[in-house]
Amino acid sequence: MGSSSPGPPPYHSRSSEADPLIGPRKPYRRYQSFCVYVAIALFFITFTIVNSPIIFHKDPLDPDVRDRIRKDWDIELRQHQKEVLEHNYTKTRWLLEDDNRILEEHERKVEERRKHEEEERLRLNMFWTDLASQTCTSYATREYTARLVNVPSYYDRRVEACMATPVKIHGVEYMPKWCEDYGPNDVIGHWEVDQHEPDCASYWLWYKDIGCISPGSGQRRIEHYLENLPSGADWKEFCATTPASFLGMHFMGAEICFQKDYGTYGHWVFDDENC
C-alpha cells in the first residue's frame, strides 16, 4: 500500500476537556489583582480629596474654623443652660412637694389636737359664768368679760379651752378675743362685740368748711365735732373709728384728731381744684 496519512493523536486517559483552559488563568489573575490595587488607590485618593477641606481647615487661627468652634460652644452652652434650668426646676418642685407634705402633716396634727381638746372640753363640761359688759373700746364696740368654770386643776390647756369656748351675747355666739389664765376656775375671757351697742355709737356734728390749706395748694380742710363720746372712752380711738360722710365722700374715721374746749374734733384734707 502507499504511504498513509498520519492518524489522530493518541488518546491519553489523563487528558480532559478542561486541560486547555487551565493555562490562560494565570494572566487573568494578575490583571484582576492589578484592578483591585487600582481601585484601592482610587478610593484613598477620592477619600483624601473629599476630606481635604476638613483635614486642612482645622487650623484654630482660621476664621471659618473659629466661627465653627464658637457655634459648637454656643450649642453646648445652651444645652448646659437647659440642663441646669431643668435641674433647678426639678429641685424646686421636689422642695415644694416636701414643704407641702410637711405643712399638710402639721395641719393634720393641729386638727387632730384641736378635735381631741374639743372632745375633752365637752367631756369636762366647761362653761362661762359672770358675763359682764365693760367699757366701749371703739365706735359701736363694747368689751365683755366672763369666767370659765368647771376647769380641773390638772388641766394644763386652760387658755386653749378658753379660746375654743363660745359665749352667747345679744343672742349671737362669739369666740373670745383673748384670754387670761389666773389658775383653775379663774380663766377670764374677753370679747369685743360690735353689734347692738348703740351706747357706743358716736357720730359727727357741726360740719365746718375751714377753707383751702393755702392759695394754690389744691387742697381743702373740713372740720367735724364728735358727739356722743362714751364716758371714760379713749377719744382718740373713737375719733379714728367713727365713720363720716360729706360732699359725696365716705371716710372710716378722721384723718386728724384733737381736743379743744373739752370737745373732740376731727379734720379731713382732700383735693379741691378750687383751691
Per residue in 140-162, pLDDT tens? 999 999 999 988 888 888 998 89
Query: What total of structural domains would you count in the chain?
Result: 3
With cut-offs at 50, 70 and 90, classify the pLDDT of residue 263.
very high
Other C-beta atoms lying within 10 Å of the C-beta of residue 193: 20
Distances (CA, A) of 160 to 105, 167, 194, 241, 253: 21, 15, 24, 31, 35
Decide which of 156, 175, 198 is a domain's last residue.
198
Indicate whether 30 belongs to any domain. Answer: no
Asked whether the predicted pLDDT for residue 165 surpasses 70, the reply is yes
Distance CA(127)–CA(151), nearest Å, equals 9
Percentage of residues of the chain with pLDDT beyond 90: 44
Residues 129 and 78 in one domain: no
Indicate whether 46 belongs to any domain. Answer: no
Decide which of 198, 228, 262 is a domain's last residue.
198
Per-residue pLDDT tens digits for 95-142: 888 888 898 888 888 888 877 777 776 667 889 999 999 999 999 999
From its phi and psi, is residue 261 left (phi > 0), alpha (psi between -120 and 50) or beta? left
Distance CA(72)–CA(64), nearest Å, equals 12
Residues 158 and 188 in one domain: yes
Residue-level pLDDT at 156: 84
From its phi and psi, is residue 125 left (phi > 0), alpha (psi between -120 and 50) or beta? left
Threshold 0.75, pTM exceeds: no
Decide which of 124, 149, 174 is a domain's last residue.
124
Q: Quick check: 202 and 227 in contact, CB under 8 A?
A: yes
Distance CA(26)–CA(131), nearest Å, equals 130
Indicate whether 254 belongs to any domain. Answer: yes
Per-residue pLDDT tens digits for 181-208: 998 789 999 999 999 999 999 999 988 9
C-alpha cell at 244: 363720716
Domain around 243:
202-271
Mean pLDDT of 76-82: 89
Indicate whether 10 belongs to any domain. Answer: no
Q: Which long-range contacts does 2-5 make (Cβ < 8 Å, 24+ apart)?
A: none
Mean pLDDT of 7-19: 48
Q: Please state, rounded to an integer, the average pLDDT across all residues of the chain.
A: 83
Indicate whether 39 belongs to any domain. Answer: no
